[in-house]
């Protein structure tokens, strides 16, 4: 880092720290304000996230519309029809079906995390826990989880318990595997430091392993959320209840096909909102992550 | 209060990818009087960091033992402070949080910890940086935090493993000076590992010269400079002479591999 002469780009972090008394490594040229020539307007637009999103989503919607018009309403509703369908979901009260569905999703997802993180942490830390649990995790992880649904129905029936169990079954694996990996690869130096400061054995988890593995764990939880939503829909479609029942029913009649797409859009919207909420929660819990992503200050 | 007595300590590690063991320490005997500043100097790979870890209890010796104040060391304790070469700060904690780390393990409540940490923060000249994360600080500042973390628990023995080895020259000299100032205040017993001969002579009361594998103590130099010690000793004829002597000593056992 030190001594390189890149213009502007090599302003090291320490120089941004006010009041540093030492090690200031001001590069020649770092203080010079580099005025870029005016970019072409196309390049300026391409640097804007909103513009790129507009292009991507716009193209998708356009493609959908073109295919819908060519295929006819029997197979695909047009974009305006889907929008009308969304309004109809609200006016006809269909949207309320998402309430219980979201409830089971939330309960299942939270339970999955509550089981997955401690389990993964134990697997990452202790060889015996890894040896005991890894075969189960790996076997079910690669198995089609749908194939296990009949067993869950046998045990839990068709009620709330069944649906929550399916969500857990789908959601639990990524957080387990990621937490285990994150804890396993906590730097030797950090572990040694914690030991040197006489950290009690179990406190190592809360003070060192879990915070150190947090980026892995959060990634696992976000992937787990996607799986939880998948599990939620599958659980309901499988036994024909709740949102799953409606989705299935809408596909059976060409005149209600636009409602099927509208409901699918709403489920995607819920997923996106939950994902964003997770991001907010992450930033709250880990202010350090925010610092990292912004590099300095 | 510690008098550190190291008796017959040996340590060997498995060879990487080969059969057999690599003997790193071989029957090391050493006694350190309390409130003295001892520097261990030797080529890299001579086992000085290993010896420091054995003194702390982070590593168990294969044979022999370390006693501090008569008590045999079997595990790390907060009566000893450790400063690492690569700082080893917890990146998700602020400067303040890092300094409080050891205090938490002492079972101190938050309202006790804060004033204590603030006091140490001042001692290492980091006021105003309480809420910075390690990643936002220069190497020299990170090591000040490392030192503060070790000092915060008020250990009677301070163990430092090439603490200034990964900062630039000017910062290193400043930190050396500050370390001496801090040391003058309460004269803890310090064991300071370094491969920098001048650093060892500038800081220590005694310089223990170690030779490479299987390493043994080849010589102990009593440093003639008085205390409080000024920067001027760096340029003194004694410094030049002792540096040359120690280097001649080290050269004998030094290999390219080291």
Chain A residues with at least one Cβ partner in B under 8 Å: 2, 13-14, 17, 19-23, 189-190, 192-193, 195-200, 203, 207-208, 211-212, 214, 286, 288, 291-292, 296-297
**Whether residue A157 is found in the same domain as residue A263:** yes
Mean pLDDT of chain A: 84
Nearest CA in chain A to B149: A197
CB contact under 8 A, B136 and A23: no
- pLDDT of residue B213 exceeding 70, the answer is no
Interchain contact B87–A (C-beta under 8 A)? no
Three-class DSSP category at B9? strand
Note the Cα A260 to chain centre separation in Å.
25
> Which of A190, A192, A196 lies nearest to residue B90, judging by beta carbons?
A190
Q: Which of A95, A142, A112 is nearest to A228 (CA)?
A: A112
- pLDDT of residue A3 exceeding 90, the answer is no
pLDDT at B258: 41
CB contact under 8 A, A13 and B91: no
Q: Which chain B positions have a beta carbon within 8 Å of A201's beta carbon? A: none
H/E segment holding residue B99: helix B95-105
**Residues B167-202: tens digit of each pLDDT:** 999 999 999 999 999 999 988 999 999 999 999 999
The model carries a pTM of 0.81
Mean pLDDT on A18-46: 61
For residue B18 the two structure tokens come to 């080969």
- The nearest CA of chain B is from the CA of A152 a distance in Å of 41
∠ Cα A189 B143 A218 (to 5°): 45
Which of A38-42, A75-79, A258-262, B216-220 is the least confident region? Answer: A38-42
Mean pLDDT on A138-142: 90
pLDDT confidence tier of residue A252, bands split at 50, 70 and 90: confident
Interchain contact B84–A (C-beta under 8 A)? yes
- pLDDT of residue A162 exceeding 90, the answer is yes
> Which of A2, A197, A291 lies nearest to residue B102, judging by beta carbons?
A197
Number of A–B residue contacts, CB under 8 Å: 89
Nearest CA in chain B to A24: B138
Name the maximum alpha-carbon separation found in chain B.
55
Q: How far apart are the first and last CA of chain B?
A: 36
Interchain contact B214–A (C-beta under 8 A)? no
DSSP code for A147? G
Mean pLDDT on A55-64: 93
CB contact under 8 A, B76 and A196: yes
Q: Which of B7, B13, B9, B54 is nearest to B191 (CA)?
A: B54
**Whether residue A51 is found in the same domain as residue A135:** no
Note the Cα A262 to chain centre separation in Å.
23
CB contact under 8 A, A197 and B82: yes
> Which of B77, B132, B140 lies nearest to residue A23, judging by beta carbons?
B140
Q: Which chain A positions have a beta carbon within 8 Å of B133's beta carbon? A: 288, 291
- A47 found inside a domain: yes
pLDDT confidence tier of residue A291, bands split at 50, 70 and 90: low
**Whether residue A212 is found in the same domain as residue A109:** yes
d(CA A87, CA A81): 10
What are residue B43's phi and psi, to 5 degrees? -65, 160
Percentage of chain A exceeding pLDDT 90: 59
- A106 found inside a domain: yes
**Whether residue A158 is found in the same domain as residue A271:** yes
> Which of B88, B170, B171 lies nearest to residue A190, judging by beta carbons?
B88
**Whether residue A108 is found in the same domain as residue A132:** yes
CB contact under 8 A, A196 and B171: no
Q: Are strands B189-194 and B63-68 parallel, antiparallel or unpaired?
A: unpaired
Mean pLDDT on B119-126: 93
- On whether the CB atoms of residues B72 and B65 are closer than 8 A, the answer is yes
Please give the tally of structural domains in chain A: 3
> Which of B56, B90, B136 lies nearest to residue A196, judging by beta carbons?
B56
Q: Which residues pair with A29 in a beta bridge?
A: none
- On whether the CB atoms of residues B101 and A295 are closer than 8 A, the answer is no
> Which of B84, B129, B167 lies nearest to residue A193, judging by beta carbons?
B84
Mean pLDDT on A266-282: 91
**CATH architecture classification, B1-78+187-258:** 3-Layer(aba) Sandwich (3.40)
Q: How far apart are the first and last CA of chain A?
A: 19
d(CA A261, CA A265): 6
Alpha-carbon Rg for chain B, nearest whole angstrom, is: 18
- pLDDT of residue A117 exceeding 50, the answer is yes
| Bigger pLDDT: A297 vs A138 | A138
**Residues B43-102: tens digit of each pLDDT:** 877 889 999 999 999 999 999 999 999 999 999 999 999 999 999 999 999 999 999 999
CB contact under 8 A, B137 and A17: yes
Interchain contact B170–A (C-beta under 8 A)? yes
pLDDT at A296: 39
**Whether residue A112 is found in the same domain as residue A162:** yes
Highest mean pLDDT range out of A248-262, B111-125, B206-220?
B111-125
CATH number of the domain encompassing residue A136 = 1.10.3720.10
Alpha-helical runs (H) found in chain A: 13-16, 41-46, 49-71, 79-91, 98-125, 127-142, 149-156, 160-171, 173-184, 188-196, 203-204, 210-239, 242-252, 257-285, 287-293
Q: Please give the full DSSP string across B190-251, using - where no structure is assigned.
A: EEEEES-HHHHHHH-SEEEEE-SSSB-EEEEEE----SSPPGGGGGSHHHHHHHHHHHHHHH
For residue A8 the two structure tokens come to 């502007």
Q: Which chain A positions have a beta carbon within 8 Å of B135's beta carbon? A: 13, 291-292, 296
∠ Cα B228 B87 B203 (to 5°): 20
d(CA A15, CA A215): 27
Interchain contact B151–A (C-beta under 8 A)? no
Give per-residue burial for B172-210: e unless 16+ CB within 10 Å, then b.
bbbbbeebbebbeeeebbbbbbbbbbbbbbbbbbbbbbb
Residue of A192, A196, A213, A293 to mutate for B, most B C-beta atoms under 10 A: A196
**Whether residue A18 is found in the same domain as residue A110:** no
pLDDT confidence tier of residue B251, bands split at 50, 70 and 90: confident
**Whether residue A119 is found in the same domain as residue A249:** yes
- A141 found inside a domain: yes
Q: Which chain A positions have a beta carbon within 8 Å of B86's beta carbon? A: 189
ipTM of this model?
A: 0.91
> Which of B105, B135, B141 lies nearest to residue A197, judging by beta carbons?
B105
pLDDT confidence tier of residue A17, bands split at 50, 70 and 90: very low
For residue A47 the two structure tokens come to 């640097």
d(CA A115, CA A123): 12
Which of A42-56, A116-130, A189-203, A220-234 is the least confident region? Answer: A42-56
**Residues B142-174: tens digit of each pLDDT:** 999 999 999 999 999 999 999 999 899 999 999
**Whether residue A48 is found in the same domain as residue A5:** no
H/E segment holding residue B23: strand B21-32
pLDDT at B249: 87
Q: Which domain range does residue A4 map to?
A: 1-35
Q: Are strands B157-161 and B80-83 parallel, antiparallel or unpaired?
A: parallel
**Whether residue A28 is found in the same domain as residue A45:** no
pLDDT at B152: 95
d(CA B158, CA A178): 38
Residues in chain B: 258
**Whether residue A22 is found in the same domain as residue A165:** no
**Whether residue A121 is found in the same domain as residue A203:** yes
pLDDT confidence tier of residue B35, bands split at 50, 70 and 90: very high
Interchain contact B85–A (C-beta under 8 A)? no
Mean pLDDT on A60-80: 89
């Amino acid at each position: 880092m030190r001594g390189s002469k890149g213009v502007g780009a090599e302003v090291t972090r320490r120089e941004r720290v006010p009041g540093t008394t030492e090690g200031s490594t001001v590069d020649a040229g770092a203080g010079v304000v580099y005025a870029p020539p005016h970019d072409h307007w196309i390049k300026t637009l391409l640097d804007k996230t909103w513009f790129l999103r507009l292009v991507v989503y716009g193209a998708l919607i356009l493609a959908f519309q073109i295919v819908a018009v060519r295929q006819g309403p029997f197979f695909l509703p047009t974009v305006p029809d889907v929008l009308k369908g969304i309004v109809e979901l609200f006016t006809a009260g269909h949207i309320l079906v998402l309430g219980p569905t979201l409830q089971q999703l939330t309960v299942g997802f939270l339970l999955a995390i509550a089981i997955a993180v401690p389990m993964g942490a134990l697997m990452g830390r202790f060889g015996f826990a890894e040896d005991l649990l890894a075969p189960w995790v790996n076997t079910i992880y690669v198995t089609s989880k749908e194939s296990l649904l009949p067993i869950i129905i046998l045990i839990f029936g068709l009620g709330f318990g069944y649906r929550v169990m399916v969500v857990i079954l789908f959601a639990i694996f990524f957080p387990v595997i990621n937490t285990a990996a994150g804890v396993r690869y906590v730097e030797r130096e950090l572990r040694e430091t914690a030991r040197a400061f006489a950290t009690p054995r179990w406190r190592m988890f809360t003070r060192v392993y879990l915070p150190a593995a947090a980026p892995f764990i959060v990634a696992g939880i976000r992937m787990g959320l996607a799986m939880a939503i998948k599990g939620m829909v599958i659980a309901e479609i499988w036994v024909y209840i709740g949102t799953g029942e409606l989705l299935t029913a809408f596909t059976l009649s060409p005149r209600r096909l636009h409602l099927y797409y509208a409901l699918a859009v709403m489920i995607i919207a819920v997923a996106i909102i939950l994902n964003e909420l997770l991001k907010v929660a992450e930033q709250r819990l880990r202010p350090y992550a925010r610092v990292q992503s912004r590099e300095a200050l | 209060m510690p008098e550190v007595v190291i008796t017959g300590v040996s340590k060997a590690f498995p060879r990487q990818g080969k059969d057999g063991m690599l003997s790193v320490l071989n029957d090391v005997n050493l006694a350190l009087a309390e409130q003295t500043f001892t520097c261990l100097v030797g080529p890299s790979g001579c086992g000085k960091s290993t010896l420091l870890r054995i003194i702390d209890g982070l590593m168990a010796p294969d044979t022999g033992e370390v006693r501090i104040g008569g008590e045999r060391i079997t595990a790390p304790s907060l009566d000893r402070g450790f400063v690492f070469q690569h700082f080893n700060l917890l990146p998700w904690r602020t400067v303040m949080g890092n300094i409080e780390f050891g205090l938490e393990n002492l079972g101190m409540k938050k309202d006790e910890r804060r004033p204590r940490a603030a006091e140490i923060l001042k001692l290492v000249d980091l006021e105003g940086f309480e809420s910075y994360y390690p990643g936002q600080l220069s190497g020299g500042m990170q090591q000040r935090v490392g030192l503060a973390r070790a000092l915060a628990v008020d250990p009677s023995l301070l163990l430092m493993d090439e603490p200034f080895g990964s900062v630039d020259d000017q910062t290193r000299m400043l930190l050396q000076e500050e370390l001496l100032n801090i040391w003058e205040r309460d004269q803890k017993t310090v064991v300071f590992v370094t491969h920098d001969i001048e650093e060892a002579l500038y800081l220590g009361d005694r310089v223990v010269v170690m030779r490479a594998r299987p390493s043994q103590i080849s010589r102990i130099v009593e440093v003639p400079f008085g205390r409080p010690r000024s920067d001027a000793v760096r340029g003194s004829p004694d410094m030049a002479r002792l540096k040359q002597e120690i280097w001649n000593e080290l050269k004998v056992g030094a290999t390219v591999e080291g």
